[in-house]
Amino acid sequence: MRRAALVVATILLTACGQMTANPGGGAGGPEAAPVTVFAAASLHKAFPEVSVGMRVDYSFDGSSGLVDQLRGGTPADVFASADSTTMDRAMEEGLIDGEPVMFATNRLVLVTPQGNPAGVTGFDSSLAGTRLVVCAPEVPCGAATLGAAERSGLGLAPVSEESSVTDVLGKVTSGEADAGVVYATDAAQAGDRVKTFDVPGADEEPNTYWIAVLADAPNPEGAEAFVELVLGPGQAALSANGFGGPT
């Protein structure tokens, strides 16, 4: 009987040890499943600051390219787009669960290398003949650039159309381009590596950023928690990175 009692006691102690071996393993804890977030390239600096303390795997790229990946079956929990048009496309493809929510705004600016070797004077005719780089038309920053050019009556002749705004900025800061159209947040992150010019009408026609949980999210609870974080406490980090609030 004493031997049986010892066996039972050992089993109970082992069970107790297993029950307490995962402290902090609840939602958001160190053992919580990571949330996979597909987000517009312009969010590459702000979003990691938003999610400090949360396990998140990010994939940053042009919004339209991310939709292509999601439509192809790449698993993810959350999609954050840099415009409403691309989010609408994701909804039409049946990729979104529920209704997307606007969480930030951004505006276009023109940037040149700090020395401005081509003598660009702004978003105007001085861009003619320069090595201008913009986003491709299917990317939100590209669609916005086309709209800004139309409003200004300006014909653009870019030497390159990139799949993401970070690629445009990279070509300007490396000296491969004389000028590029990016978001104000990207220009701010580049600091003194670029010279910045306003784009006429950009304040009146800002890009709106939208976020949604994906229909086939492997981690729907974590996805909801991330979206709530972006819409709540995360607004401070977005503001600190130059994003405007939702309109």
Q: CB–CB of 56/34 below 8 Å?
A: yes
Was 64 annotated as part of a binding site? no
Q: CB–CB of 84/210 below 8 Å?
A: yes
Strand extents, DSSP E, the chain: 35-40, 56-61, 78-81, 96-106, 108-113, 132-135, 160-162, 179-183, 194-198, 207-214
Residue with tokens 């409003």: 151
**Which sign does the torsion angle of CA 8, 10, 16, 19 carry?**
negative
- What residues have CB less than 8 Å from 201, skipping those under 6 apart? 148, 151, 152
Q: CB–CB of 127/121 below 8 Å?
A: no
> What φ, ψ does residue 73 adopt, rounded to 5°?
105, 5
Was 165 annotated as part of a binding site? yes
Was 58 annotated as part of a binding site? no
Pairing mode, strands 207-214 and 132-135: unpaired
Q: What is the DSSP string of 210-243?
A: EEEEETT-S-HHHHHHHHHHHHTTTHHHHHHTTP
- Residue 183, strand partner residues: 108
Was 209 annotated as part of a binding site? no
Residue positions in the annotated binding site? 42, 63, 165, 183
Residue positions in the annotated binding site for molybdate? 42, 63, 165, 183
